[in-house]
Structure 1
Amino acid sequence: MLEIKNISKTFGDRQVLYNISGSFEPGQTSLIIGGSGTGKSVLLKCMIGLVKPDSGEVLYDGRNFLADNEEEQKTIRREMGVLFQGSALFDSKTVLENVRFPLDMLTDMSSSEKNDRAQICLQRVGLEGAGDRMPSEISGGMKKRVGIARAIVLNPKYLFCDEPNSGLDPLTSIKIDQLIKEITDEYQITTVVITHDMNSMLEIGEKIMFLYKGKKLWEGNSDTIVHSSVSELNDFIYANKLLREMEK
């Protein structure tokens, strides 16, 4: 289980997070939603150690990630997989080399073992045979799949996805959502997705946290979100519906 307790963060004189708390369960796809500038990505960076909050706790199975020493933090980081916004692939590396990169950095596996593991992950995301291609030679949806394969190559207990559907057409977005959900169920990963995509909220939002101006205003799931009495959330949902209609 992943827990966050009273996470607050200020940059200069601007507070971006106000005492955010929540928990995220294994085998569950949890979403953090909200408009631009609401603190979603900052909260994610606090959870994975890229940003240090001013106060609060981040607990991985009871282990305080923020209080641990450097060696213990490395142990927890090895249990994380991250799909960055835009996939963040290395342009100079092949698809296979991109996927095996975490293995190169964090393991003592042999080269053949790394390649075998990377191939298994590529096969899991439907990209068997694409290992020798360069990122410039594949579509945006395929790049997302490569990013997912890289995120799971270390058999993580925790998977973090930052706007996995950004820049994708609606049909490809649905496929990426389904893949994330399948992998979460199959490996019983604790998955946290940062998104503003309405389809994601309704299709894979087993737990949803809504942020507004750095504060948690609502928490629920895909069944209860449309019945919310929080006006800011209802406005956010309505704006997403209009955007979806315009994209059709």
Structure 2
Amino acid sequence: MIEIKNISKSFNGRQVLHDISGTFEKGKTSLVIGASGTGKSVLLKCMLDLIKPEEGQVLYDGRRFLLQEEKDKKDIRREMGVLFQGGALFDSKTVEENVRFPLDMLTDMPENEKRDRVEFCLHRVGLDGTGKRMPSEISGGMKKRVGIARAIVMNPKYLFCDEPNSGLDPLTAIKIDELIKEITDEYQITTVVITHDMNSVLSIGEYIMFLYQGKKIWEGDSQSIMKTHIKELDEFVFSNHALRQLRDGH
């Protein structure tokens, strides 16, 4: 479980996050949603300790991450997997080298165990036989799958996905959502997805936090989000014409 408590952050006097609190539970796909510029990525960076909030705490299973000594922070970071926006693969490394990179950097695992783990993770995301390819030789959807394989190669307790569907066609995006949900369920990971994709919200949103101008103004699930009467949230949700028709019963 991950808890964020009263997170606030400003840049050059401009408040970007205002007193954000929430709980992301083990085994659930939790989504942080909102339009561009609402503070979603800043919140993620605060949770990863890439940005220091002025106020607030981030707790990983009760451990106050931001207050830990650097050695203890490294131990918690080893329990994290991150799928960066765009995949963020190393162009000069093969698919299998990309996936094994965290194992090389963070473990003393024997070579044969690394090979087995990489092979298993590539199999789990449906990429058997692609290990020797370069990122330039695979599609955008496959790159996201490689990114997921790399994110889970350390068998993480916590998985973070930053806009996992950006740049993907709708069908591929659905498959990536399904894969994230399957992995979360199968390994009982605490998963946090940053997105503005309403298809993701409706298909995998077991817990949803909506940010508007740096404030949390709603939280709930994929069923209740369709029935709110919060103006800012309705505008975000029903900006999609098809969803408006669904709501209005057409």
Q: Measure, in 2, the Cα distance between the counterparts of 1:214 and 1:241.
A: 26
> Measured at CA, do residues 244 and 41 of structure 1 come closer, stay the same or move farther in structure 2, by a change above 3 Å?
farther
Q: Measure, in 2, the Cα distance between the counterparts of 1:144 and 1:209.
A: 24
1:93-132 matches, within 5 Å, as: 93-132=93-132
> Measured at CA, do residues 105 and 26 of structure 1 come closer, stay the same or move farther in structure 2, by a change above 3 Å?
same
> Measured at CA, do residues 239 and 53 of structure 1 come closer, stay the same or move farther in structure 2, by a change above 3 Å?
same
1:44-123 matches, within 5 Å, as: 44-123=44-123
Runs of 4+ in structure 1 displaced over 6 angstroms?
Answer: 242-245
Q: Which residue of 1 aligns with 2:217?
A: 217
8 Å CA contact 2:27–2:188 kept in 1: the answer is yes
- Tell me the alpha carbon deviations over residues 63-103 of structure 1, each in whole angstroms, 9 at most, x when there is no partner: 00000000000000000000000000000000000000000
Counterpart residue identity of residue 237, structure 1? V
TM-score by length of 2: 0.96
8 Å CA contact 1:198–1:241 kept in 2: the answer is no
Q: Measure, in 1, the Cα distance between the counterparts of 2:110 and 2:50.
A: 29
Q: Measure, in 1, the Cα distance between the counterparts of 2:105 and 2:198.
A: 36
- Tell me the alpha carbon deviations over residues 14-58 of structure 1, each in whole angstroms, 9 at most, x when there is no partner: 110000000010100000000000000000010011111111000
DSSP 3-state at the match of 1:208: strand
- Tell me the alpha carbon deviations over residues 124-176 of structure 1, each in whole angstroms, 9 at most, x when there is no partner: 00001000000000000000000000000000000000000000000000000
DSSP 3-state at the match of 2:98: helix
> Measured at CA, do residues 207 and 95 of structure 1 come closer, stay the same or move farther in structure 2, by a change above 3 Å?
same
8 Å CA contact 1:46–1:53 kept in 2: the answer is yes
Q: CA RMSD in A?
A: 1.4
1:1-248 matches, within 5 Å, as: 1-241=1-241
| Structure 1 gap segments, 5+ residues each | none
TM-score by length of 1: 0.97
Aligned length: 245
8 Å CA contact 1:33–1:208 kept in 2: the answer is yes
The alpha carbon displacement at 1:112 in A equals 2.0
What is the identity percentage for the equivalent residue pairs of Structure 1 and Structure 2?
A: 74
The alpha carbon displacement at 1:229 in A equals 1.2
Q: Measure, in 2, the Cα distance between the counterparts of 1:20 and 1:64.
A: 16
8 Å CA contact 1:95–1:135 kept in 2: the answer is yes
Q: Measure, in 2, the Cα distance between the counterparts of 1:116 and 1:136.
A: 24
> Measured at CA, do residues 81 and 166 of structure 1 come closer, stay the same or move farther in structure 2, by a change above 3 Å?
same
Counterpart residue identity of residue 142, structure 1? M
Q: Measure, in 2, the Cα distance between the counterparts of 1:240 and 1:160.
A: 26
Q: Which residue of 1 aligns with 2:248?
A: none
Counterpart residue identity of residue 112, structure 1? N
> Measured at CA, do residues 106 and 241 of structure 1 come closer, stay the same or move farther in structure 2, by a change above 3 Å?
farther
